[in-house]
Amino acid sequence: MLKKTLYLECYSGISGDMTVASLIDLGADVEVLTAGLDSLNVDGYKIEISRKAINSIETCDFHVILDVPETNYMVDDNKNTPSGVTFETHSHDYYHKHNLEHSHDHNLGHLKEHTSEHCHIQNSEHSHEQNSENINEHKAENLREHSGGYKHVHLNARLKQSESKHIHSHSHEGGHPHIHYGHHEHRNLNDINTIIDGSAISDNAKQIAKKIFYIVAAAESKAHGKPIEEVHFHEVGAVDSIVDIVAVSICLDNLNIGDVIVSELYEGTGHINCQHGVLPVPVPAVVNIVTEHQLPLHITSINGELVTPTGAAIVAAIRTKEVLPKEFKIMKVGLGAGKRNYERPSFLRAMLIETSTNSSSDTVPDKVWVLEANIDDCSGEAMSIAMETLLQNGAKDVYYTPIFMKKNRPAYLLGVISSEDKVEKMEEIIFTHTTTIGIRKQEALRSTLNREIKSVTTPYGEALVKVCTYHDKTFYYPEADSIKKLCNESGKDYITLYSLVQTLASQG
């Protein structure tokens, strides 16, 4: 099967759970998804997949539910916090679920939720000297939906004699109750990569997930002025966000997605309150991501956050093309529900599309940029790292050609093939990882064969094969890394296994 083209229409913004839901609605296998998530060995949550009507339009809703204790409890900052109380909440990838310009007229106060597992409760009509027994009488079902959009948010707690969680009081001007609850884990990028590498999801899904996390880590690193290895994911390291990002990666792999086209990102305005204080919309992490990856942004008049850091990182990681083809067919549509209510419907629309081209065409036209640099004073080790870095950052191909320069000095020509949106990044890597002081670049047209990646079962294990077609001919090219792995595990030589995989692929 040929790789499919995905189009994400982000006119209501984008978040992790919206993306997962839209991909499930497109037909991603839920059993494959749940098996992959189970293999992460991350506990403390369950997922709920349901149908939800938004403005009478049926959508899919993907909901990560953290372990929820039974009894409701609230803690006042001006009181001693009872030991052994666990606070947990439903969280959906956002910094929080609150806009400072909304009114505060709820009898039970105003709940602000965000993924760093850090919760504020404000009460504008009750005294802040209430004791816990008074507060505990209020049930979660009495929390009314806020006009800014909590669609269903529960705050629950219970006393546990045998467990002491991270709960303490803070002093805030105005005496607002302040709670830390649940498992307050701070994971860095290495911790998260270890979780992903230890799972049973496909290698492709692992690479997508790690790329998304790296993009968020880089954005947070820039925002906080810390080295990337020192960034701890208060937001993205939370269990629900790990689930969202890995779920997106599993679904993309399961749907056999190749190219991804993304519309401009519609974002709101105003300010939000999160762990780091009051922040403008778009939040710094989102701004850093759209700047680094040159994502088109459209600011709307909606008062609130439409694009989350995870949503922006997903787009940055998977987008391969900037614009839709002039003509295409929509093969299937998936709608992923948002968790907030605004004046416009909140859902992400995903489409599987097929380009309307002449069926006799066997090649795909493509525009690329070719960057070249002459290098005569750089070590082989440095050039090896430069090549690896360029490929990791999205180069379509990297190559070295032996050349002779003036005075017959032996040298190398570095060539890089890149999409237009990554040219600036390619230049940065070339200048910083090699000794060249000049780069030539030009736009070029190329034709590529239609291709797909096929998995072949051999007596020695699985191997990946690139299958290409041209006119009435089909070519089978086993992936070198797959053959190398079979060689190491079986003790067979490369040529024998390459021929075996090629034969099995042609027979299948």
In a domain, 259, yes or no: no
d(CA 321, CA 299): 22
- pLDDT tens column, 497-508: 999 999 999 987
d(CA 122, CA 104): 8
Task: Determine the pLDDT at residue 363.
Answer: 65
Residue 389 has pLDDT above 50, yes or no: yes
d(CA 105, CA 111): 12
Report which listed range, 178-192, 209-223, 268-282, is most confident: 209-223
Same domain, 485 and 419: no
In a domain, 236, yes or no: no
Helix (H, G, I), strand (E, B) or coil at 248: helix
C-alpha distances in Å from residue 199, one per residue of 165, 202, 209, 250, 459: 28, 9, 12, 11, 24
Distance linking the first and last C-alpha atoms of the chain: 12
Could you tell me how many residues make up the chain?
Answer: 508
In a domain, 214, yes or no: no
Task: Determine the pLDDT at residue 156.
Answer: 32
Task: Determine the pLDDT at residue 237.
Answer: 53
Contact between 14 and 315 under an 8 Å Cβ cutoff? The reply is yes
Contact between 268 and 303 under an 8 Å Cβ cutoff? The reply is yes
- pLDDT tens column, 288-305: 999 999 899 999 999 999
The per-residue b/e assignment along 414-447, b for 16 or more CB within 10 angstroms, e otherwise, is: bbbbbbebbbebbbebbeebbebeebeeeeeeee
Residue 489 has pLDDT above 70, yes or no: yes
In a domain, 379, yes or no: yes
Instruction: State which of 438, 460, 480 marks the end of a domain.
Output: 438
For residue 396, give the CATH number of its domain.
Answer: 3.30.70.1380
Same domain, 457 and 432: no
Same domain, 415 and 372: yes
In a domain, 426, yes or no: yes
Q: What is the pTM of this model?
A: 0.54
Signed CA dihedral, 189, 183, 224, 420: sign only: positive
Task: Determine the pLDDT at residue 176.
Answer: 37
Instruction: State which of 391, 410, 438 marks the end of a domain.
Output: 438
In a domain, 338, yes or no: no
% of the chain with per-residue pLDDT over 70: 73
**Which is nearest to 395 in space by CA: 365, 416, 412?**
416
488 or 240: whose pLDDT is higher?
488
Tokens representing residue 251 in the block: 């679904």
**3-state SS of 91-146?**
CCCCCCCCCCCCCCCCCCCEEECCCCCEEEEECCCCCCCCCHHHHHCCCHHHCCCC
Average pLDDT in the 96-113 region? 35
Banded pLDDT at 429 (limits 50, 70, 90): very high
Same domain, 489 and 430: no
Helices (H), 411-493: 423-433, 480-490
**Range with lowest mean pLDDT among 55-59, 183-187, 345-349, 392-396:** 183-187
- pLDDT tens column, 209-232: 999 999 998 998 888 888 887 776
Same domain, 393 and 432: yes
Banded pLDDT at 362 (limits 50, 70, 90): low
Same domain, 427 and 372: yes
The number of folded domains in the chain is 2
d(CA 26, CA 59): 11
- Give the chain's mean pLDDT: 77
Average pLDDT in the 386-414 region? 95
Instruction: Output helix, strand, coil percentages for the chain, rounded to the nearest 5.
Output: 30, 35, 35
Average pLDDT in the 256-264 region? 93
What letter represents residue 404's amino acid? Answer: F
Same domain, 372 and 421: yes
Same domain, 432 and 471: no
Same domain, 413 and 476: no
In a domain, 274, yes or no: no
Residue 486 has pLDDT above 80, yes or no: yes
Instruction: State which of 413, 438, 463 marks the end of a domain.
Output: 438
In a domain, 369, yes or no: yes
Domain with 475, as residue range(s), is 451-507
- Written as one string, the DSSP assignment of 30-90 is HHHHHHHHHTT---SEEEEEEEEEETTEEEEEEEEEE---SS-----TTSPPPTTEEEEE-
d(CA 296, CA 309): 15
